[in-house]
A and B are shown apart, each in its own frame.
Chain A
Amino acid sequence: MGSKGEQKVRANQFRIFYSMVFVIMVAAIMLTLLAITEGVTRAELQSHQDQQTLEMLKEIFPKASFYVLEDDIYIIYNSGRNEIGYAFYAEGRGWGGKMVILVGLEDKETIKGITVVSHHETRGYWDRLIENNFFGQLIGLKIEDCELKKKYGVGGGQVDGVTGATVTSRAVVDIVREAALEKIESIK
């Protein structure tokens, strides 16, 4: 009787062991399948993302035809293979949280244009910035002038802040200026 009970326990143990091995094996096979798919689709995905980046850069540099990424700075070339500018992502805090801005520079001193990639500002205030052509003011501006005009002793730049949306206005110009001043150091 004792050996029969033992046999039962053994069989049970084996069943649990087999089940575990089975699950692990299935998971391993499926992971391999996923890895293969990832490898096959990676090149296509990369070229698709490159295309998207180029499209975004073209909003700032309409003449851009390709770019080279070096130390997080996009060096932009036109179809004649001449350097026409630089672009990089700038990050900082706005009123509502993290703001990411793609900044384009014409040369080491002048801003070509910016595209806000993501922000958490309040909708209505953000719309005011757009209505007042706030971002248009930055085109062609010297980097050190990218600051709100002097008011109550702060600021000293050339940009008109938008009434009622001062914090957001200041955040945008400060993020752009600080990142630009930092990045031009590393542009050769």
Chain B
Amino acid sequence: LSKFVKEFIKGIVISNPIFVLALGLCPALAVTTSLENALGMSAAVAFVLLTSNIIISAIRKLVPNIVRIPVFIIIIATFVTIAHMVFQAYVPALHESLGIYLPLSVAYLFYCIILGRAEAFASKNPVIQSIADALGISLGFALALILISFLREILGTGSLSVFGNELFTIPGLSEHPISIFIMSTGAFLIIGLLMALFRWTGVIKNE
């Protein structure tokens, strides 16, 4: 169990996909314009990571080495498509605002799972540990996305709303929002500053 917890924590802090591995910056830039989008994307990513990690680690001993990458891609792409279909049917508004980035995240997940993770993880470890790893890494991804989108939405629009409910507005800022933070330039700024902040405070260590 302590191994489970260790793997779980590792995904959030030590190998946070965005701030440490700097993986998946493309979806992170594109969908963090609002908190709502970030939550939707995180949910999709968590689902795909968890399901494909479980399957990959379950079949890891059966996969012939020469075809492991095609096999992993097929599995990941399938679950991305399933997430895409489910979003389209049940949360069409979110599906529309995530747009192309939901199916595009297959590329990110591929890097994340295969090159960054599963090659080193799910394909070499038993199912239980892969679950912990998937949960940790998707929670790390979700927290990073939430933090970025939180800052961007507040600075860029002067207010914060979740699922149609306006949580609060900042007087002054909402009339004259700093709209650069809604654009991708703002995302780079925020991500860079946060990365610097985490390194400086020592939350994330250079190895």
- Tell me if A19 and B78 are in contact (CB < 8 A): no
The residues of B that contact A15 with a CB separation of less than 8 Å are 64, 66
Q: Taking each of B62, B67, B90, which has the highest tally of chain A beta carbons within 10 Å of its own beta carbon? A: B67
Report if B74 contacts A (CB, 8 A).
yes
Please report the C-alpha to C-alpha distance between residue A103 and residue B86 in the assembled complex, in whole angstroms.
Answer: 32
Please report the C-alpha to C-alpha distance between residue A168 and residue B106 in the assembled complex, in whole angstroms.
Answer: 41
- Tell me if B71 and A48 are in contact (CB < 8 A): no
The residues of B that contact A48 with a CB separation of less than 8 Å are 89, 92
Report if A23 contacts B (CB, 8 A).
yes
Report if B58 contacts A (CB, 8 A).
no
Which of A22, A30, A41, A42 contacts B75 (CB under 8 A)?
A30
Please report the C-alpha to C-alpha distance between residue A48 and residue B90 in the assembled complex, in whole angstroms.
Answer: 9
Question: 1/0 per position for A29-72, CB-CB distance to B under 8 A?
Answer: 01101100110011011001000000000000000000000000
- Tell me if A26 and B85 are in contact (CB < 8 A): no
- Tell me if A37 and B64 are in contact (CB < 8 A): no
Q: Which residues of B (62-84) have their CB < 8 Å from a CB of A?
A: 62-64, 66-67, 70-71, 74-75, 77-78, 81-82
Q: Which residue of chain A has its CB nearest to the CB of B81?
A: A34
- Tell me if B74 and A41 are in contact (CB < 8 A): no
Nearest Cβ distance between residue A53 and chain B, in whole angstroms?
13
Please report the C-alpha to C-alpha distance between residue A37 and residue B85 in the assembled complex, in whole angstroms.
Answer: 7
What is the predominant secondary structure among interface residues of chain B facing chain A? helix
Q: In the complex, how many residues of chain B place their beta carbon closer than 8 angstroms to a beta carbon of chain A?
A: 19
- Tell me if A38 and B85 are in contact (CB < 8 A): yes
Question: 1/0 per position for B92-105, CB-CB distance to A under 8 A?
Answer: 10000000000000
Please report the C-alpha to C-alpha distance between residue A179 and residue B82 in the assembled complex, in whole angstroms.
Answer: 39
Q: Which residue of chain A has its CB nearest to the CB of B51?
A: A33
- Tell me if A26 and B89 are in contact (CB < 8 A): no
Nearest Cβ distance between residue A21 and chain B, in whole angstroms?
10
Which of A18, A23, A31 contacts B70 (CB under 8 A)?
A23
Please report the C-alpha to C-alpha distance between residue A38 and residue B82 in the assembled complex, in whole angstroms.
Answer: 8
- Tell me if B86 and A41 are in contact (CB < 8 A): yes
- Tell me if B89 and A41 are in contact (CB < 8 A): yes
The residues of B that contact A31 with a CB separation of less than 8 Å are 78
The residues of A that contact B85 with a CB separation of less than 8 Å are 34, 37-38, 41
Report if B169 contacts A (CB, 8 A).
no
- Tell me if A19 and B75 are in contact (CB < 8 A): no
Q: Which residue of chain B has its CB nearest to the CB of A27?
A: B74
Which of A23, A26, A27, A37 contacts B86 (CB under 8 A)?
A37
Question: 1/0 per position for B42-72, CB-CB distance to A under 8 A?
Answer: 0000000000000000000011101100110
Which of A23, A34, A44 contacts B67 (CB under 8 A)?
A23
The residues of B that contact A34 with a CB separation of less than 8 Å are 78, 81-82, 85
Q: Which residue of chain A has its CB nearest to the CB of B71?
A: A26
- Tell me if A22 and B64 are in contact (CB < 8 A): yes
- Known pairs A44-B89, A44-B90, A45-B89; A23 contacts B82 (CB<8 A): no
Of the A-B pairs whose beta carbons lie under 8 Å apart in the complex, a sample of 8, sorted by A's number, is A15-B66, A19-B66, A22-B64, A22-B67, A26-B74, A26-B75, A33-B82, A42-B89
Beyond A19-B67, A27-B74, A34-B82, list 10 extra A-B contacts (CB 8 Å): A18-B64, A20-B67, A22-B63, A23-B71, A23-B74, A33-B78, A37-B81, A37-B82, A41-B89, A48-B92
Sort A-B residue pairs by CB-CB distance and give the 7 closest, nearest first. A41-B89, A30-B78, A19-B64, A44-B89, A45-B89, A19-B67, A37-B82
